[in-house]
Structure formats: structure tokens, C-alpha cells
Amino acid sequence: MATPSSRGAQPSSERGRAHPSVHRGAGSKATVTRDDALSESLEARANRLVALAKTRKRPLILTHDNPDPDSVAAALALAQIFEEKAGLKAAIAYGGIIGRTENRALLKVLKLPIVPISRIDFDEFDLFCLVDTQPQMGNHSLPPDHPANVILDHHPERTGSRDAEIAEVGGDYGATSTIAALYLRTLGIVPTREVATALFYGIKADTRDLGRETEDVDVQAYLWLFPQADKEALALIEHPKLPAEYFRLYHTAIEKGRVHGNAVMADLGDIYSPDMVAEVAERHLFLEGIKWSLAYAIYEDNLFLSLRTNDKRMNAGRLIREVVEELGGSAGGHGQMAGARIPVQKLGKAQREEFKSGLVRRFCEEWGVAGKPGIPLLAYDPRAD
């Protein structure tokens, strides 16, 4: 295992993999073609990131909307790279809200300098970065007239990412925090205690304790970060006090949950935080006999969906995109986890209920359980005929 200060060592996870890292922007002295970028080493890509930053004055790093720990942590690491290697103080911002209790605890316990997008004047910045999201995903708040220069994301590549100067996207990573940790190591940067703690938790949360869609490189990053992480802070983040709304929402999730064959769905109604659809979908996947879990709810005139599967042969990201994008929504994800958002501000209450019923039928068709009646979750018995 390399030490935190090691430089230039090629991580074993590279294995000749092609990473779509593209450099075409203004301010660079030379243009790197896409074919050249695909053959680059991680060290070369990290050094190009630093070189690009040195041509700019003020970076803005955006997480995806309603950010999770993985997105927040990767943003923090990128900010540390800019500060230590280019002398730049980056701003980190997010759209939406930070609603899930653990995510709020992450910011509070580590005192992280992250602000809502409403406090950002885009004209003050000349280097725009996206982490844990990409152009065309529809889940970030970067305006179209300020295209991303830098993108770090472990989700499958979107074509819009090819226009960025630096695009470290896709690849064999279970978390964007893993990518950020590799960049720190490659550049010889020792993460601050706060950054190390956030990255460790980001990997832990996104890979479900290294048990979901995990590669060797995720394990390496996890083990590198663990000694540097603040264990007391991690305990406070992972086990926060929960608001009363949390328990009321879970009551709704259990009461309204329906099982269709090997799939469970939960309509959460109107919710106080869009983060909760992911938490409920995750929790319901533990139900015996279940391969698919879908939770959905309304928040501020948008229908949020979260999809999970424990079948490694399936692709939740592809499925949710096929269903949602034809309805005017935006979606993202990968093998076993995905999410989506569909605007419903033009629909009345009755129309929204009809729309949600149509979505349920559509997913049931995709899962091959269209003829299976919905059984109330509380009446479900996987051993019954």
C-alpha cells in the first residue's frame, strides 16, 4: 500500500483502462485529442488538472442537486487540490437541499464550507467543475451558459462530458470519492482530516460498506483513508438524532409499500426531503424475496424516484432512463442503483395520482410482474404460495 506522500506510482486499478479525459478548453497551451486522452496515465491526467487550474483565478465546484456524501466529499478533495497545487480558493455549492439527517450531520460535524447555489454569482468564477454528476443528467444546477471545465464522476459517461477540458468519468469505480482520493495520492497531497473523513464516508456510503459494485481500487482508497479519518466524527455522522418527520415518513413507507412478485414499491406522497426516496428504496431492498425496490414521492412539484436492485445482472440506471426520459424526466445511475426526477408542476392532484399509477404499471411491465397483484407490504409473506 502506498503511503499518502507517494508520487507518480501508477495505481494497480489502472490496468490499462481507458478513461475519457478530454482537454479542449481556452487557456491551455496545447490541445489534447480524445484519442490521446484515452491513453493517458492517471498521473498525466492529474497533472493536466493542476496545469488547467493554474491558468484560472476562481474555481466553482458544484455537486449534484440534493447532494449525498460521495458528491460532497469529492468536491472537498477537488478544492484541496486547487488550493495546494494552484493556490486557488474554490467555492463549493449545491442545488436543492441537504435533507437526509446523516448528510446534514456530515456538514455540521466537519464544519464543511459548502453553500446553496442561491448564494453564488456565476460571473465571479472562471473554472466550473461538476462532481458526481455530468452534463445532460439534469440533476445539477450549472447553467447552460457556463459549461463544465472539469468533471469527476464514477457514473457511465454522457456525451456532453466530452466537451470538458478534464473529464474523469465512468471507469471501474464504486464511488466518485475513490477517483478524488486517487487524484490526491497521485499528486502527493495528504488530505486534511476533514477531507479524509468525508472521502472515507463517501466511499463507505456509496458502496454500502464495500459490498455493492466495489472494485479493488475502492478498497485501496478506503484502506488508505481509514487511518486518516476522524473516527469520533464518523460515529456522529452515521448515528445522528433523527427528526420526528423521519419516523412518520417510514410509517408511510411501510403502510403504503406494495409487493409485486419480486419487486417492492412505495409511494411516499409529499415529502420533506427528496433524499428520503433513496433511503426508503435502499431499506426495502433488504426485504426477503425481493430483487427490485422502487420508492417515489413529490417534492416541490417534482416526482423523485429511486430504484435499487440486488441482482448484479441487472442495470438499474439503464432501466430508469428508458422509463423516465420518454416522460420528459431526467435520470442517472448505474448497475444496482439509480434515481430520477420528473417535473409534474402542470399536473393537478388527480392527474399526479394517475401519472404515478402509470409509472408503476410501466415498471411492472419491465420487471415481468405486470400480472402480479400488489400485496400490502405488511401482509407480504415470501413463503406463501
Looking at the structure, tell me whether residues 199 and 263 fall in a common domain: no
Looking at the structure, tell me whether residues 157 and 220 fall in a common domain: yes
Q: What is the pLDDT of residue 22?
A: 34
Looking at the structure, tell me whether residues 231 and 253 fall in a common domain: no
Mean pLDDT, the chain, as a whole number?
87
Distance (Å, whole) CA 340 – CA 180: 25
Q: Measured between alpha carbons, how far is residue 4 from residues 212, 224, 227 in Å?
A: 26, 7, 11
Question: In this structure, what C-alpha cell is assigned to residue 77?
Answer: 478533495
Residues in the chain: 385
Annotate 91-111 with DSSP letters as a single string: EEEESS---SHHHHHHHHHHT
Residue 33, SS3 per DSSP = coil
Per-residue pLDDT band at 333 (split at 50, 70, 90):
confident
Distance (Å, whole) CA 147 – CA 163: 8
**Which of 193, 218, 238 is the last residue in one of the domains?**
238
Distance (Å, whole) CA 294 – CA 43: 40
Distance of CA 39 to the CA centre of its chain: 26
Strands, E assignment, 156-211:
166-169
Looking at the structure, tell me whether residues 230 and 250 fall in a common domain: no
Q: How many beta carbons lie within 10 A of that of residue 60, not counting itself?
A: 23
- Decide if 156 contacts 173 (C-beta within 8 A): no
Question: In this structure, what C-alpha cell is assigned to residue 62?
Answer: 458544484
Looking at the structure, tell me whether residues 231 and 293 fall in a common domain: no
Looking at the structure, tell me whether residues 251 and 160 fall in a common domain: no
Number of helices and strands (H, E) in the chain? 12, 13
Looking at the structure, tell me whether residues 318 and 187 fall in a common domain: no
Of the spans 254-263, 328-337, 362-371, which averages the highest pLDDT? 254-263
Residues 6+ apart with CB under 8 A from 322: 366
The CA-based dihedral angle spanning residues 173, 37, 29, 9, taken in that order and rounded to the nearest 10 degrees: 60
Which residue segment(s) compose the domain that 290 sits in?
244-374
**Which of 238, 253, 281 is the last residue in one of the domains?**
238
Q: In one letter, which amino acid is 269? A: G
Residue 56 domain-assigned (yes or no)? yes
- Decide if 68 contacts 275 (C-beta within 8 A): yes
Query: The CATH number of the domain where 270 resides is what?
Result: 3.10.310.40
Looking at the structure, tell me whether residues 298 and 187 fall in a common domain: no
Residues 9-42 pLDDT 10s: 333 334 334 333 333 333 333 334 444 445 578 9
Q: What is the pLDDT of residue 11?
A: 37
Distance (Å, whole) CA 385 – CA 365: 22
Burial of 260 (0-12, 13-18, 19+ CB in 10 A): buried
- Decide if 56 contacts 126 (C-beta within 8 A): yes
The more confidently predicted of residues 35 and 371 is 371
Residues 81-99 pLDDT 10s: 999 999 999 999 999 999 8
Distance (Å, whole) CA 290 – CA 378: 14
Looking at the structure, tell me whether residues 155 and 275 fall in a common domain: no
Of the spans 138-142, 173-177, 366-370, which averages the highest pLDDT? 173-177
**Which of 206, 238, 270 is the last residue in one of the domains?**
238
Annotate 341-379 with DSSP letters as a single string: EEE-TTS-HHHHHHHHHHHHHHHHHHHT-TTSPPEEGGG
Residue 201 domain-assigned (yes or no)? yes
Query: The CATH number of the domain where 206 resides is what?
Result: 3.90.1640.10
Q: How many domains does the chain have?
A: 2
Looking at the structure, tell me whether residues 227 and 95 fall in a common domain: yes
Residues 308-329 pLDDT 10s: 999 888 889 889 988 888 788 8
